[in-house]
Structures are given as structure tokens and as C-alpha cells.
């Protein structure tokens, strides 16, 4: 069995995978995100034409620690947020023998449309576009959650992933 418990709900799966970065003693570059991002929803609604249809939505108030000197969300932080959130979304569609041993990035293409300011509340939405036997694509959007920026798209991404097969590429 891989890293995902298929008997859990999509929300429980997403929470389980997201919490891996916050285990005691882990201080990797992505560990602070678990203190800033809150999982709001996680769905897995397979259809015949889209058998791996999975989505997540996280909320976050842009913290000072992820901002650049101009007081807006740093481009590298945007990429990190997308990397983590889109990867969690794949875990929802995983099942035993299919994307259940983890995955690595092949590409992460971010588009920066407008800056999100420190203190601004944003939503990070991700959806699985495609999961094949070894390759997958996930799309992400960071949009304003409230106030003047509500609904406005700030950043987008397309994240290409490669499936690990028992820990191997």
C-alpha cells in the first residue's frame, strides 16, 4: 500500500497528505505552509470521461514571511504554494496501485497576473486535468477571497507530474 488510504473520504485523504509537511521534526522548506494554508474542500467525482476528477480549495491570508520587499506574495512562494496544493489534489484521485507511491514535478508553469498583498485573503483552487499511468497534469488558480479583490485571479499554474512506481521513476 502506498501513501494514501483509499477508505478515507477525499477531504480526509487531502488532510492526511497535507499534514505530512507538518510532522514533528520536519523543517523542510515547505513545512511553514501547513501553518498558513487551510483546507476548505476536497472532492473526487469520477465520471466516464474524467475518471480522476479531483479538486481542492485551500484558503490563506498572505503572511509577511512569504512576501517580497514590495509587500506582495513572492513569486517563489506562489510556485511553492501551487506545488503543494496541486500535489495534494492528485492524492485524492490515487488508489492502490495508481499514483499511490507519490509523484514528482516535471514542469510547473506559473503565470503572475497581479500581486496579492500581505494580509490579503486568497483561495488556492486545484483540479486534476489528467492522470495517466505515469504522467499527469493539474491546474491551479489563486484568486482573491474577499474585499476588493474577491473573485479576481492573481496567479495560475499548470503542473506536470510524474508518478513514482514504488519509489522509482
Q: What is the mean pLDDT of residues 75-104?
A: 93
pLDDT in tens, 126-144: 999 999 999 999 999 999 9
- Residue 95 DSSP class: B
Q: What is the pLDDT of residue 136?
A: 97
Binned at pLDDT 50, 70 and 90, residue 125 comes out as very high
Outline where 37-151 has alpha helix (H). Answer: 75-93
What does the alpha-carbon distance between residue 151 and residue 114 come to, in Å, rounded to a whole number? 13
What superfamily would CATH give domain 10-163? Hotdog Thioesterase (3.10.129.10)
Q: pTM to 2 decimals?
A: 0.91
Q: What is the pLDDT of residue 3?
A: 56
Q: What is the pLDDT of residue 1?
A: 37
Closest of 138, 158, 40 to residue 94, by C-alpha: 138
Q: What is the pLDDT of residue 88?
A: 93
Domain positions in the chain are: 10-163
Q: What is the pLDDT of residue 32?
A: 80
Q: What percent of the chain has pLDDT over 90?
A: 70
- Which residue, chain included where needed, has cell 514535478? 105
R_g over Cα of the chain? 16
Binned at pLDDT 50, 70 and 90, residue 146 comes out as confident
Q: What is the pLDDT of residue 13?
A: 86
Query: Average model confidence (pLDDT) for the chain?
Result: 90
pLDDT in tens, 29-88: 777 888 899 999 999 999 999 999 999 999 999 999 999 999 999 999 999 999 999 999
Amino acid at each position: 500500500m502506498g501513501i494514501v488510504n483509499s477508505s478515507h473520504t477525499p477531504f480526509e485523504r487531502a488532510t492526511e497528505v497535507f499534514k505530512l509537511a507538518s510532522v514533528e521534526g520536519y523543517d523542510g522548506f515547505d513545512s511553514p505552509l501547513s501553518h498558513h494554508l487551510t483546507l476548505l474542500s476536497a472532492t473526487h467525482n469520477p465520471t466516464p470521461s474524467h475518471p480522476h476528477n479531483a479538486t481542492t480549495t485551500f484558503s490563506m491570508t498572505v503572511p509577511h514571511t512569504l512576501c517580497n520587499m514590495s509587500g506582495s506574495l513572492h513569486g517563489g512562494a506562489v510556485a511553492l504554494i501551487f506545488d503543494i496544493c496541486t500535489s495534494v489534489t492528485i492524492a485524492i484521485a490515487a488508489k492502490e496501485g495508481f499514483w499511490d507511491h507519490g509523484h514528482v514535478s516535471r514542469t510547473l508553469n506559473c503565470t503572475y497576473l497581479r500581486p496579492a498583498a500581505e494580509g490579503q485573503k486568497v483561495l488556492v483552487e486545484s483540479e486534476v486535468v489528467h492522470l495517466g499511468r505515469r504522467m499527469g497534469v493539474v491546474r491551479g488558480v489563486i484568486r482573491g477571497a474577499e474585499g476588493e479583490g474577491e473573485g479576481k485571479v492573481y496567479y495560475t499554474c499548470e503542473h506536470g507530474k510524474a508518478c513514482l512506481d514504488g519509489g522509482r521513476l
